[in-house]
Amino acid sequence: MPAMKWWGWGAEGVGFSHEDKPALGPFIKDKIGVDVRAKGAPPVAFNELAIVEPMLPEELRADLEEAVGARFVSTDALDRVVHGRGKSLRDLIRQRSGDLPRLPDAIVRPGSEEDVTAIMQAALRADAVVIPFGGGSSISGSLQAPDDESRPVISVDVERLDRVLEVDEQSRLARVQAGVFGPHLEEQLGAVDYTFGHFPDSFPHSTLGGWIATRSSGMQSDRYGDIADMVKGLRMVTPVGTLVIRPVPAASNGPSVPQMVLGSEGRLGIITEATVQVRRVPEQRTILGYLFPTFGDGVAAMRELAAGEYSASVTRVSDAHETQFSFAMRVNPTPLDKLQSVALKAYVSRRLGFDPERMCLAFIGFEGSKRHVAAERRAVGRLAKRHGGLCVGAGPGVLYDQKKFDIPYIRDFLLDRGAPGDVSETATTWSNLMPLYDAVMAAANGAFDELSVQGYAMCHLSHSYHSGACLYFTFAFKGTSPGAMLGEYDLVKSAIQQAFVDNGATLSHHHAVGTEHAQWLLEDISAPGVAMLDALFEGFDPGRHLNPGKIVSREGLRAGPPV
């Protein structure tokens, strides 16, 4: 699969356009003061980047070429820049301005687990650093080598490990190589009428190994589970040999080693293969839209849904701010669409008493046999009605399903016009969810006021559990100047993250820790928790050869919690 742009999200030539969304331009102008018609400022030209020469000793290069073949060892400048960072907003701001990180000295693409083992052994002999690379979609700072790293840095791109090796139909398990991208995984499983059912926002540009290494969640996790629920076995090349976790449904064999690997961000080894649970492709799949009078009403409906005997595949409810954004994103509405929209607003406001400025759009997904889906729709319809909700049909759900992977492109579009936009997500209990929401929105708007900038924050509930849910916040603002953008972004992002831990929530639900969120780890899991992780990483990799500085760093331990 082609690598993503070195300066933004997605493939070269693919981007975001507002021209087929007539309401979006006025909305963005009103909310953050950005004129979408203004010509954007492109990133610096690639040939203007100051790219230092790779530090790759000849002996190490020879060992790597022997391990995988000379054609799969690259020191190409573009390849090194692409693999030097992920896609966090900080990464993009710096990349676009030409501020490059400590780049990898070589990109190595193994074609087998044996190749990965040979790479690991060569790196250890040469005292080199190894950083696993899947699709490069990390937005938490998980891919960059430390700026002061003086040893050779090897980026191990596992894109060639992309096959479904076996499907055990009796156990509903599949052995899959870790470098497979989401679309190719679903294509291979779909050929035998199975699905993995894991669809994160990064789905087109992320890999199975990356999902495991960051504890990913997908849009259908309510039915399929998070990645930690879906992985039943795995193989990982480590400095002391190949870790093998047998695919069993449950085990009582001490502290969970698989759970140590999940979310380890490359600090314990390179994942080469996983055995994952799969399901038959459902006979029917549909996502329905619902309108609720307020965000609180929608959240209450999702809480009841999670506690009951329902089996929804998607449970998502947007607050009023995100609902208004969703309406502004509608593509080329026809006169009939506009008439129906006006009629719907009139109906919900006059007949149902909704305030159009407070009403919220929700999506609930259903999968299974036609009989099961029909029964679920009726039951959920009654539930929604108890909370003041109104089903508005499959149209909004179809649009959501079509556009769910497009949102990351908007960041590049806004950055072109001097407006940083980003996301932060967390999880908390149902009883704490609305107080947390209020606190985070107040923190974001307080940060905008402190900067004297025009900003906009919005939120949706995206993954429901028996005891709580994930809240996913999106924010954007018009920066005061290009040079001040990163500092202004830090102030807003930090205000939101600090509000998470100050109000009993976790630092991240599914985006991982990396370096972006590491400063809040101590407040999230307490000092003994951080000490456990540090002992694991330092004890298993005392030479700090595996993606050093991520999750827990020596500097972070000394610094303590943020003030």
Please state the pTM of the whole predicted model.
Answer: 0.95
The whole-angstrom separation of Cα 416 and Cα 79 is 23
The whole-angstrom separation of Cα 44 and Cα 280 is 47
Inter-residue contact 114 to 84 (CB < 8 Å): no
* DSSP tally for the chain: helices H, then strands E: 20, 18
Assigned fold of 43-157? 3.30.43
- pLDDT for 559: 47
Q: Which residue has the tokens 């007949």?
A: 351
Pick the CATH number of 284-403 from 3.30.70.3450, 3.30.950.10, 3.30.70.260, 3.90.180.10: 3.30.70.3450
Where are the chain's structural domains?
A: 43-157, 164-280, 284-403, 517-563
Tell me if residue 472 is catalytic.
yes
- pLDDT for 560: 47
Give DSSP secondary structure letters for 311-359: --SEEEEE-HHHHHHHHHT--S--HHHHHHHHHHHHHHHHTS---TTT-
**C-alpha 209, offset from chain centre:** 13
Class in CATH terms, 164-280: alpha beta
Q: Which one, of 188, 95, 192, 186, lies nearest residue 200 by Cα?
A: 186
pLDDT tens track, the chain, 563 positions: 778 999 999 988 888 888 888 999 999 999 999 999 988 888 999 999 999 999 999 999 999 999 999 999 999 999 999 999 999 999 999 999 999 999 999 999 999 999 999 999 999 999 999 999 999 999 999 999 999 999 999 999 999 999 999 999 999 999 999 999 999 999 999 999 999 999 999 999 999 999 999 999 999 999 999 999 999 999 999 999 999 999 999 999 999 999 999 999 999 999 999 999 999 999 999 999 999 999 999 999 999 999 998 999 999 999 999 999 998 988 877 665 665 676 677 777 777 778 888 999 999 999 999 999 999 999 999 999 999 999 998 877 777 766 677 788 999 999 999 999 999 999 999 999 999 999 999 999 999 999 999 999 999 999 999 999 999 999 999 999 999 999 999 999 999 999 999 999 999 999 999 999 999 999 999 999 999 999 999 999 999 999 999 999 755 554 444 43
Count CB atoms within 10 A of the CB of residue 455: 23
Inter-residue contact 498 to 439 (CB < 8 Å): no
- pLDDT for 555: 56
Give the list of residues 6+ apart from residue 228 with CB closer than 8 angstroms, or none: 215, 259, 262, 263
- pLDDT for 40: 86
Q: Which residue has the tokens 């998607």?
A: 314
What the block records as the tokens of 416 is 């072109």
The whole-angstrom separation of Cα 541 and Cα 534 is 10
Residue in 194, 290, 472, 489 annotated catalytic: 472
Element (H, E) at 115: helix 113-125
Count CB atoms within 10 A of the CB of residue 274: 27
Inter-residue contact 388 to 360 (CB < 8 Å): no
φ and ψ at residue 202, rounded to 5 degrees:
-85, 5
Give the list of residues 6+ apart from residue 169 with CB closer than 8 angstroms, or none: none
The whole-angstrom separation of Cα 536 and Cα 551 is 12
φ and ψ at residue 324, rounded to 5 degrees:
-65, -40
